[in-house]
Structure 1
Amino acid sequence: MIGRILSALAILWALGFLWFAIALPGPAENVRTDAVIVPTGSAGRIERGLEVLRERQAGMMLVTGVDPEVRQAEFAAQFGVPADVMACCVSLGFAAVDTRSNASETAQWVEMHDIGSLRLVTTDWHMRRAAGELARTLPDGVTVVWDAVPSHPSLGDLFLEYHKLLVSVVSRLG
């Protein structure tokens, strides 16, 4: 009996990992949201968030998890953000250190700015966990659009992220 249960769990785990690795989320359609949220991390995230701002698909942007050593002028210079856009539309969040605290920092910012809809920009392999953590912390009624930045993750990266996702889901259930 225990052998069958363990076999069933192993099959479920393998099928889940296969689904996770093959069906990575993709970029969002051209849809307007109040804000764009970008957790720091893999390449392409911040650039995609700034593209969303330039295309006026969102009115403001939060970059969450920025290193406390980074100054606004340095950020603007590195990413080619004009000073007027930094002043009106880009917020740098320095409180987050991981995906869960990115979600907490984002929820506070969303409440402070009365945001009704947001576009979450993160790497394709990170999207499910980031969106799940965000869903746990956001106020009711906030619409979240997934906008995944395509990447080429290694099998090791996928394996690690799949297990982080499982832990995140289990912790939400408990």
Structure 2
Amino acid sequence: MIWRLFLLVVVAYALGFMWFAAALPQPRFEGETDAVIVPTGAAGRIDRGLEVLDGGKARMMLVTGVDPEVRPAEFAAEFEVSMERMRCCVSLGFDAVDTRGNAAETADWVAENRIRSLRLVTTDWHMRRASGELRQKLPTNIRIVEDAVASEPSLGILFLEYNKLLATWASRLVPV
């Protein structure tokens, strides 16, 4: 009996991983939101966020999880953003150090700026966990558009992220 249960868990885990790896979230180009939220991390995220902002699909942008050593002028120079654009429309969040922290930092910023809709821009393999954490922190009336940055993740990255996603789901099931 215990072997059957063990086998069932292994099969469910393997099928879940295959779904996770084969059905990664996709980019979303249509629609407008009040803001675009970009957690730091993999390449292409900030560029996509700035593309959304410059395309008029959002009026403000938060980059969450920025290294405290980074200054706005350095960020502006690296991503070719004018200081005028930085002052009006781009906020750098320095408090977050992980995905859960990104969600908390975003929730505070959303409340402070009276945001009603946002576009989450993160890497395809990171979207499910980042979106889930964000939905846990935000009020239910905030609309979230998931705009994944396409990537070619290694099997190792997919495996690690899948296990982090499962751990996140499990942590919600167990009362603290």
- TM-score range, shorter-chain basis? over 0.9
**1:44-63 → structure 2 map (5 Å cutoff):** 44-63=44-63
Aligned to 1:153: 153
Q: Deviations over 1:32-82 (max 9, x none)?
A: 000000000000000000000000000000000000000000000000001
| C-alpha separation in 2, matches of 1:87 and 1:159 | 39
- Unaligned runs of at least 5 residues, structure 1: none
Please, what is the CA RMSD of the aligned residues? 0.6
SS in 2 for 1:148: strand
Distance 2:13 2:37 in 1: 31
**Gap regions ≥5 residues in structure 2:** none
Structure 2: distance between partners of 1:132 and 1:76: 30
CA distance in 2, matches of 1:51, 1:74: 19
CA distance in 2, matches of 1:111, 1:16: 35
CA distance in 1, matches of 2:172, 2:115: 24
Q: Does the aligned pair in 2 maintain the 1:111–1:139 contact within 8 Å? A: no
Distance 2:142 2:28 in 1: 17
Structure 1: which amino acid aligns with 2:139? P
Q: Which residue of 1 aligns with 2:89?
A: 89
DSSP-derived class of the 2:37 partner: strand
| Counterpart check, 1:37 vs 2:37 | yes
* TM-score of the pair, normalised by structure 2: 0.98
2:121 alignment counterpart: 121
Over the matched positions of the two proteins, sequence identity in percent amounts to 65
Compute the TM-score of the two structures, normalised by the length of structure 1: 0.99
